[in-house]
Amino acid sequence: MGLIVQKYGGTSVANPERIKSVARRVAAYRAQGHQVVVVVSAMSGETNRLIALAREIQAHPDPRELDVILSTGEQVTIGLLAMALKEQGVPAISYTGAQVQILTDSAHTKARILSIDEQNIRADLASGHAIVVAGFQGQDEDGNITTLGRGGSDTTAVALAAALRADECQIYTDVDGVYTTDPRMVPEARRLPRITFEEMLEMASLGSKVLQIRSVEFAGKYKVRLRVLSSLLDDPGEGTLITFEEDDNMEQAIISGIAFNRDEAKITVRGVPDKPGIAYQILGPVSEANIDVDMIIQNVGVDGSTDFSFTVHRNEYAKTMDTLKAQQARIGAIDVIGDDRIAKVSVVGVGMRSHVGIASQMFRTLAEEGINIQMISTSEIKISVVIDEKYLELAVRVLHKAFGLDQEAA
């Protein structure tokens, strides 16, 4: 017996039948004696529909009002699920983020959770209720509705699990766990029964959208036991457990997974003077415009001038180009050019710490397919490359095979 937080994503609550099936699963857990807090997303497609609707009125929707609109998606689902639970004889009560009192900062559309007041939830649990909470939303200290960024319901669930000191946080989705890579791109991908927290953090930050990165950060900070499972199977099995310690008994694979991301764009500032302060002159205005920079390379200069390249989120490509074009003369650059048809592919694995040659194997595999590497970045447990977007699928497939991820672990 324990306290479980369960999160159901958009596909898992896509229609009334699925919502009833979620209610049955919640009822079954309660019948085993568990207390259950459920976090739900908007019904699948709903958040996209609301964004499109907002854009028909305003090309760049006002962030505060956009959050007012987006939060309604989850609000519909909590009402429906609470009703479905009551139909099954389960006493249930729904809460919006603001009603719980999930306090966030005021960064509309990408707010961060600051604190959660879990007193009301505890009282309702004690009186035998199933609690249904709207994911992806909160309110700031002035009472404005905020949302937590795409995929943010994962973070609501883990943050609630941390606040309630739940025994487990279960993320139910449309795949039965975390795979070696996105199974929609590579059918040979395999489910990982366990993945270390560090690897999951890298996978999420490098584009594996099965968990929102902030949910993984929360789980790490508050040591939440986190599991990914399928909502579409009657018996979801063990799914994937995110572990905090490397299990000595388990033979660790060197590479655990391959992540990819099409959300970036590359900017190159050409022919800048190769002298101290140049990186600051280029990236200073970019950061002042509130644009996050990911990978950076500065080429070795010839004849006192050099090229400087970096990547930003694709949504901020136009803004970054405009910012730098406006600065071109001041920086003394010959030109500012860009490419928004790039993709980033990364191999991730804690085994890299103790094995050499992973990078060269990755580069050789790509070279054999004639795929040009435009940028490289590495950390202790990952290697990322930027390539032309049109080779993305090929790159992921050949790397998945080259690192033996399609093979059953020994």
Residues 229 and 239 sit within 8 Å (Cβ to Cβ): yes
Structure tokens given for 325: 């074009």
Stretch that binds ligand ASP, among 26-34, 148-156, 220-228, 331-339 (CB under 6 A): 148-156
DSSP states along 13-48: GSSHHHHHHHHHHHHHHHHTT-EEEEEE-PPTTHHH
Of these partners, ligand ASP, Mg ion, ligand ADP, none, which one is at the site of residue 42 (CB under 5 to 8 Å by kind)? ligand ASP
Q: What are the C-alpha distances in Å from 32 to residues 27, 29, 105?
A: 9, 5, 38
Is residue 175 a contact residue for ligand ADP (CB under 6 A)? yes
For residue 235, the minimal CB distance to ligand ASP (Å) is 24
**Across-strand partners of 5?**
37, 169
For residue 408, the minimal CB distance to Mg ion (Å) is 28
Stretch that binds ligand ADP, among 76-84, 85-93, 123-131, 203-211 (CB under 6 A): 203-211
For residue 301, the minimal CB distance to ligand ASP (Å) is 43
For residue 222, the minimal CB distance to ligand ASP (Å) is 19
Is residue 403 a contact residue for ligand ADP (CB under 6 A)? no
Strand, helix or coil for residue 306: strand
Of these partners, ligand ASP, ligand ADP, Mg ion, none, which one is at the site of residue 338 (CB under 5 to 8 Å by kind)? none
**Across-strand partners of 298?**
308
- Of the candidates 11, 47, 268, 365, which one interacts with ligand ASP according to CB under 6 A? 47
Is residue 163 a contact residue for ligand ADP (CB under 6 A)? no
Stretch that binds ligand ASP, among 41-49, 217-225, 253-261, 309-317 (CB under 6 A): 41-49
CB neighbourhood size of 327 (10 A): 18
For residue 185, the minimal CB distance to ligand ADP (Å) is 8
250-289 binders of ligand ADP (CB under 6 A): 257
Is residue 170 a contact residue for ligand ADP (CB under 6 A)? no
Is residue 135 a contact residue for ligand ASP (CB under 6 A)? yes
Residues 260 and 182 sit within 8 Å (Cβ to Cβ): yes
> Cβ neighbours of residue 165 under 8 Å, at least 6 residues apart?
3
143-202 binders of Mg ion (CB under 5 A): 151
> Cβ neighbours of residue 301 under 8 Å, at least 6 residues apart?
274
- Of the candidates 4, 6, 9, 18, which one interacts with ligand ASP according to CB under 6 A? 9
Q: In the chain, how many H helices and how many E strands?
A: 12, 20
99-158 binders of ligand ADP (CB under 6 A): 151
| Alpha-carbon gap, residue 49 to 267, rounded angstroms | 31
If residue 310 lies in a helix (H) or strand (E), which one and from where to where?
strand 305-313
Of these partners, ligand ASP, Mg ion, ligand ADP, none, which one is at the site of residue 112 (CB under 5 to 8 Å by kind)? none
| Alpha-carbon gap, residue 393 to 211, rounded angstroms | 21
- Of the candidates 6, 9, 61, 148, which one interacts with ligand ADP according to CB under 6 A? 9
Q: Which residues bind ligand ADP (CB under 6 A)?
A: 9-12, 41, 151, 173-175, 178-179, 181-184, 208-210, 257
